[in-house]
């Protein structure tokens, strides 16, 4: 199979010669749908026919269309002419489009009145296009570039609460038009610095943003869900990173989807909002790895790369492997690569499947082959998620060698895969056998009232660090002791882990 795409002029007129026929793509039956996130079909001269024909040759079955709401004209569908042409063309080619509706300027949704008008606009849009039944509300609300303000004047998070209010209004508005519309919470950026005073990109990390959403939702007293699905944009930290490389907590990438699922459980379990074990699904509706143009195509490009890039063969390997990996996660509904075309300006994001001269990169065939091989379904063991009630990755290390009677320094080491608070105790026990099973159980359920506690120490653990928690220096009476440690997750203090050391002797 080969494809050729040619662009000409500022309007981006698109001509495609298709050779070969694509097979059936993934559907909405629980299989993984693969597609493209881009505004490119809006600027085609043929109503998107060539664009969606290209998607079908790669067995793609979904397309994200961004619809922008303008507060100065809150009832106007600005792209109506393009949507009227593109939507029937896409569906005629077997590609199901969905809407990502976002605001024209980042501060437009900072007021309740504007959020109400946004929700009313969604009803206008849903009435105009009843054939579109999936809506992503908002776009990367955890970063300043798309949503302002992120923080209140006192440094507390503001955008998560505003976003929850927007989702509640949007959910109710869309369901009033058609209860079958799927409402998805707009895609969180994979990174955030959690700093209101950051010199740039003031933002909130995805896990902390989700936690704050849960707090706002519970405080609102709402008895209906906010969303049917969630969206996420798992770009790599560097194009040179494989999709399997984990982000440092509290950020997240493809390798950290369970971290996000746990965050949604922490935030919403026990409420009217379903979590992943209740059937919630996640849409990875924007991702991509940048490539550098091959030497024999360099003349077609101008400008300078602003980000790291990989070669086309590496991109193809990643895209194909990524699809094969995601089909075995039943929580993932779709994955969409950002852009079809590789634009000629190197300063822009360069993750498309076609070169600027119009010829397909190896990734185009890699995607087609991966979708054809899998059919959007897992042939191996699915990766099932189960929430944790303990601290993820918590471990304690104790030194329990005999201490001399004059010893005054006592400590232990703790680590975890997420930020947590730590409370330690030194507990005197009557014999070298330490705590009985009943005493251990009592300690876990009522740690603050540990019988026999003679010293305490508090601390914090930063994800993937191993701090030493030290007790205040003092001598202990000769006898037998154990260390007892309770670790509580920062984002959900109800999730705890308790550790008890073996016995050590003083004197």
Identify the CATH number of the domain in which residue 499 sits. Answer: 2.60.40.2550
Q: What share of the chain is helix, strand, coil (3-state, %, to 5)?
A: 30, 25, 45
Same domain, 29 and 78: yes
In a domain, 385, yes or no: no
- The Cα 355–Cα 359 span in angstroms is 6
Which residues have C-beta within 8 Å of that of residue 129, sequence separation ≥ 6?
83, 87, 99
Same domain assignment for residues 258 and 368: yes
Strands (E), 104-151: 134-137
- Say yes or no: 68 and 97 in one domain: yes
Per-residue model confidence (pLDDT) at position 449: 66
- Tally of CA atoms within 13 A in the half-sphere of 156 that contains its CB: 9
Tell me: do 424 and 370 sit in the same domain: no
Please check whether residue 383 lies inside any domain of the structure.
Answer: no
Task: Indicate whether 318 and 262 sit together in one domain.
Answer: yes
Indicate if 332 and 400 belong to the same structural domain: no
Residue 432 lies inside a defined structural domain of this protein: yes
Whether the Cβ atoms of residue 44 and residue 9 lie closer than 8 Å to each other: no
Instruction: For residues 334 and 454, state if they share a domain.
Output: no
Contact by Cβ (8 Å): 283, 230: yes
In a domain, 101, yes or no: yes
Residue 303 lies in a domain: yes
The two structure tokens encoding residue 22: 């694509």
Cα–Cα–Cα angle for 161, 223, 137, rounded to 5 degrees = 45
If one counts the domains in the chain, the total is 2
Q: How far is CA 136 from CA 97, 141, 448, 505, in A?
A: 11, 12, 45, 61
Q: Which H or E run includes 15?
A: strand 13-19
Contact present, 167 and 137 (Cβ < 8 Å)? yes
How far is residue 174's CA from residue 176's CA, in Å, rounded to a whole number?
A: 5
- Examine residue 438 and state whether it is found in any structural domain, yes or no: yes
Q: Pick the closest to residue 391 from 466, 488, 317 (CA basis).
A: 488
Measured torsion, CA atoms of residues 338, 340, 341, 342, in degrees rounded to the nearest 10: 40
Whole-number Å distance between alpha carbons of 305 and 346: 5
Residues 451, 84: Cα–Cα separation, whole Å: 72
Single out the residue of 15, 55, 10 nearest to residue 358, CA to CA: 15
The last residue of a domain, from among 340, 374, 408: 374
Does 217 lie in the same domain as 69?
Answer: yes
Q: What is the largest CA-CA distance in the chain?
A: 88
Q: Measured between alpha carbons, how far is 280 from 261 in angstroms, rounded to an integer?
A: 9
* Pair of tokens at residue 373: 């091989």
Q: Check: CB of residue 337 under 8 Å from CB of residue 351.
A: yes
Domain identity same for 363 and 418: no
Nearest residue to 459 (alpha-carbon basis) of 492, 494, 490, 482: 490
Residue at 182 is within a domain:
yes
Residue 71 in any domain: the answer is yes
Per-residue pLDDT of the chain (507 residues; tens, 9 = 90+): 233 333 333 333 333 333 333 333 344 578 999 999 999 999 888 889 999 999 999 999 999 999 999 999 999 999 999 999 999 999 999 999 999 999 999 999 999 999 999 999 999 999 999 999 999 999 999 999 999 999 999 999 999 999 999 999 999 999 999 999 999 999 999 999 999 999 999 999 999 999 999 999 999 999 999 999 999 999 999 999 999 999 999 999 999 999 999 999 999 999 999 999 999 999 999 999 999 988 888 888 888 877 899 999 999 999 999 999 999 999 999 999 999 987 788 878 889 999 888 889 999 999 999 999 999 999 999 999 999 999 999 999 999 999 999 999 999 999 999 999 999 999 999 999 998 887 777 777 777 766 788 999 999 999 999 999 999 999 999 999 999 999 999 999 999 999 999 999 999
The helix (run of H) or strand (run of E) holding residue 482 is strand 479-489
CATH number, domain containing residue 292: 3.20.20.80
> Tokens for 76?
């106007």
Q: Which domain-ending residue is among 339, 374, 409?
A: 374
My answer on whether 414 and 307 are in the same domain is no
- Residues 414 and 396 sit within 8 Å (Cβ to Cβ): yes
Residue 393 CB neighbour total at 10 angstroms: 15
Q: What is the pLDDT of residue 28?
A: 52
* Separation CA 231–CA 146 (nearest Å): 15
Is residue 434 located within the same domain as residue 362? Answer: no
Kindly report the number of other CB atoms within 10 A of residue 212's CB atom.
22
- Could you tell me which residues are beta bridge partners of residue 201? none
Beta strands, E only, 163-249: 182-189, 229-233
Task: Return the bridge partners of 137, or none.
Answer: 101, 185
Nearest-angstrom CA–CA distance, 31 and 45: 33
Contact 204, 194 (CB under 8 A): yes
- Whether residue 500 contacts residue 437, with contact meaning beta carbons closer than 8 Å, is answered with no
Burial (CB < 10 A; 0-12, 13-18, 19+), residue 43, is middle
| β-bridge mates for residue 143, sequence order | 203
Could you list the residue range(s) of the whole structural domain that residue 493 is in? 395-506
Task: Tokens for 501, please give them.
Answer: 């050391």
Judge if 245 and 148 occupy the same domain: yes
What pLDDT was estimated at residue 114?
98
């Amino acid at each position: 199979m080969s494809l050729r795409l040619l662009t000409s002029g500022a309007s981006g007129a698109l001509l495609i010669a298709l050779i070969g026929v694509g097979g059936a793509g993934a559907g909405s039956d629980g299989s993984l749908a693969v597609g493209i996130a881009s505004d490119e079909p809006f600027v085609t001269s043929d109503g998107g026919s060539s664009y969606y024909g290209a998607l079908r040759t790669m067995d793609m079955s979904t397309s994200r269309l961004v619809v922008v709401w303008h507060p100065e004209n809150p009832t106007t569908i600005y792209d109506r002419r393009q949507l009227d042409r593109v939507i029937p063309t896409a569906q005629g080619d077997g590609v199901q489009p969905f809407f990502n509706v976002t605001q024209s300027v980042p501060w437009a949704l900072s007021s309740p009145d504007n959020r109400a008008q946004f929700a009313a606009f969604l009803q206008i849009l849903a009435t105009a296009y009843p054939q579109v039944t999936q809506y992503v509300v908002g776009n990367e609300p955890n970063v300043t570039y798309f949503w302002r303000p992120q923080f209140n004047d006192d440094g507390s998070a503001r955008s998560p609460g505003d976003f929850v209010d927007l989702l509640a209004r949007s959910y109710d508005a869309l369901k009033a038009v058609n209860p079958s519309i799927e409402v998805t919470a707009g895609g969180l950026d994979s990174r955030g610095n959690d700093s209101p005073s950051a010199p740039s990109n003031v933002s909130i990390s995805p896990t902390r943003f989700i936690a704050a959403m849960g707090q706002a939702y519970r405080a609102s007293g709402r008895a209906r869900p906010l969303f049917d699905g969630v969206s996420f944009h798992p770009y790599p930290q560097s194009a040179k990173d494989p999709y399997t490389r984990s982000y440092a907590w509290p950020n997240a990438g493809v390798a950290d989807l369970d971290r996000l699922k746990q965050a949604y459980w922490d935030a919403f379990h026990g409420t009217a909002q379903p979590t992943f074990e209740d059937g919630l699904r996640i849409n990875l509706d924007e991702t991509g790895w940048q490539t550098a143009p091959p030497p024999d195509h360099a003349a077609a490009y101008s400008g300078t790369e602003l980000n790291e890039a990989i070669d086309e063969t590496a991109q193809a390997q990643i895209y194909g492997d990524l699809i094969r990996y995601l089909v075995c996660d039943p929580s993932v509904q779709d994955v969409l690569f950002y852009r079809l075309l590789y634009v000629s300006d190197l300063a822009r994001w360069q993750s498309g499947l076609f070169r600027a001269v119009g010829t397909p990169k190896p990734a185009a065939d890699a995607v087609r082959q991966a979708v054809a091989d899998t059919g959007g379904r897992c042939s191996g063991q699915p990766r099932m998620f189960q929430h944790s009630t303990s601290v993820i990755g918590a471990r304690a290390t104790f030194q329990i060698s005999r201490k001399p009677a004059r010893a005054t320094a006592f400590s232990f080491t703790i680590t975890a895969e997420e930020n947590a608070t730590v409370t330690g105790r030194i507990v005197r026990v009557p014999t070298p056998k330490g705590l009985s099973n009943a005493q251990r159980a009592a300690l876990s359920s009522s740690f603050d009232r540990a019988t026999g506690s003679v010293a305490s120490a508090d601390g914090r653990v930063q994800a993937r660090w191993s701090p030493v928690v030290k007790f205040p220096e003092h001598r202990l009476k000769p006898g037998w002791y154990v260390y007892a440690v309770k670790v509580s997750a920062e984002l959900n203090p109800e999730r705890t882990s308790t550790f008890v050391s073996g016995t050590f002797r003083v004197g």
